[in-house]
Amino acid sequence: MFLDRLQGSATLVRNAVRLRETIERLGPSAIKIGQQLSIRTDLIPQEFSDELIALLDNVPPFTLEVAHQLVKQELSQPVEVLFSEFSEEPIGSASIACVYKARLHTGEVVAVKIRRPEVTQILVSDLAVISILCRFAEFTGIIERGKSEPVVQELRRMLLDELNFLVEARQTELFREDAAKTNRYVTAPKVFRHFSTSGVLVTEFIEGVFLLQVLDGIQRGDEAYLKSLSTQGYNLQMISRRLMNVFYWQLFENPFFHADPHPSNVVVKPDGKIVLIDFGATGTLTSKYRRDLLLFVQSLAEGSIEGMVRYMIASLEPLPPLNLEAYTNEMYHAMREYLFTARSKHSNWQERSSGRAMTALTEVSRKYNIVMRADVLRYIRASFQFDSIVYRLNPDLDSRKEFRRYLRQRTKRIRKEMRKSRKQISSIGSNTASLQLLNGKWQERLSNLDSTLSFLSNHTVQLEWLFRRRVSGLMLLLAWIVSIVRTIAAAVLVLVLWTWCRQYHPLWPISRFIDAGFTFCFSSDLQMLVAHIPTLSERLWFWVSLALVVLLFSLQSLMENLQTPKSKVE
């Protein structure tokens, strides 16, 4: 990088490529960090994020003998007893585990995921080193204080979840059950729990096409391959619409969502059903963030820029002290540009994807020192990856239209459930008429309550908006005033120490050094001023200095309190 600067050829793109190549050489731990940093556009420039997204987790597999040994160690039985067939080569090799294809004695074809030996100890040690390096970087000012901790915590949480295959098995089963109840487009592999441990996971082997292969064919322009997919019944436009539906369903209805839906983790079966695999990384949205996100997407579908900005900023609370007026104006401009670009028929898929809005959000937030929460980061990560899939499958996809279609389907499903509940109530017995009357009255009351809450919600949102603007401006002003007072107190403390040294210890080297420095910076006028200060007892100078030190620490504590993010409730 230094040589590039000397030669005048230094660019962010060249530095980003060099960083990616270095991370690839450092191994799996560094690759995981690079994958996490790739979505942290609030911490790194966009050029670095774009390059780090291209990181491939290709790791040489361990030997077949080691695989057999690990299976026997985890399941207490040899491979020959557990499986009738076991592939000699893995069908997948990643930094955490290798996956083999096998067959149970009952005839079921399964995928056996085996954790790499000693990977737990390696990653735990790496995490400890990473934490120390980040603290050192914050201490030296290379990284702004407090910004690395959320990244390290998210990385630690993600890696520990991925290392424990029982967590992945549980999340896979729950997703499969929830999808079977409310979404016919998606499912997850069946888990064989009696063959699964924290180090080995056995699931059904999914027959179908990995979207990584489909996207590779699209990128290469392989018309023969794409035609063969169409002949087999794979409709890429339908798959893209279903993927968008599945994404909305995960965010707004399911208890959790797949946080790493890259093309290698998405399989399409011949009947068109989508199968998500590898649930080691999942995300959960709070009810508040889910509500704000739903209202943001709804404002986007309606073309309301003001609503987009309002709910986007509300989703980032609590906010640190900042100039909310300037932040709102920049967000308004960014969302306006995104909305107009998304509505244009001449925009490419990268410009119309929601990832563009997320990029604008993170860039503006980074400028105002707003640190993203872990749930927001996982949503942004999943949003980027879903967009990169659906828009490459169908460049003409209209996300706003698909969201309105999803809302209609969701409304129909809710109405169907309500009709089913009314039928159950009406079939209870002799009190049918009274129960129906009671049901009608409660429905009328709930309808009135819903209308009232809707009316109050609109006015509450406006009050919240005004409240946040006033409080944020007040905190910014107070922080500025305290900063000035702290600077004045520090200057007075230095003058007090200098005067004390001149009056009682003028021959000390430190006194002579300070005296020379002040004379050089402020000429002799300051010395004359200090010379007219009355001579006080040394004990009194000590107590004055101590009081000033206490005042400085108090002001520093007050500054930290003012800089602590305040929620709208507070």
Question: For 17-71, what is each residue's pLDDT tens digit?
Answer: 888 888 877 766 777 777 767 655 556 777 887 787 666 555 678 889 999 999 9
d(C-alpha 549, C-alpha 494), whole Å: 10
d(C-alpha 435, C-alpha 306), whole Å: 45
pTM: 0.67
Q: Name the β-bridge partners of 113.
A: 99, 201
Higher pLDDT, 522 or 551: 551
Tell me if 54 sits within 8 A of 20, measured CB to CB.
yes
Q: What is the mean pLDDT of residues 258-265?
A: 85
Q: Could you please report the per-residue DSSP string of 118-138?
A: THHHHHHHHHHHHHHHHHHHH
**Confidence band (pLDDT; 50, 70, 90) for 474?**
low
**Confidence band (pLDDT; 50, 70, 90) for 84?**
very high
Residues in the chain: 570
Tell me if 219 sits within 8 A of 396, measured CB to CB.
no
Q: What is the mean pLDDT of residues 490-509?
A: 75
User: What end-to-end distance do the CA atoms of the chain give, in Å?
Assistant: 47
Virtual torsion, Cα 260, 114, 104, 90, nearest 10 deg: 80
Q: At 276, give phi and psi (nearest 5°).
A: -95, 135
Higher pLDDT, 439 or 143: 143
Catalytic residue among 42, 126, 178, 260: 260
Instruction: Answer yes or no: is pLDDT of 101 > 90.
Output: yes
Least confident range from 42-51, 90-99, 319-328, 548-557: namely 42-51
HSE-up of residue 179 (Cα within 13 Å, Cβ side): 25
Active site residue 260: yes
Tell me if 213 sits within 8 A of 370, measured CB to CB.
no
d(C-alpha 166, C-alpha 173), whole Å: 11
3-state secondary structure of 423: helix
CB under 8 Å to 85, separation ≥6 — which residues?
A: 102, 103
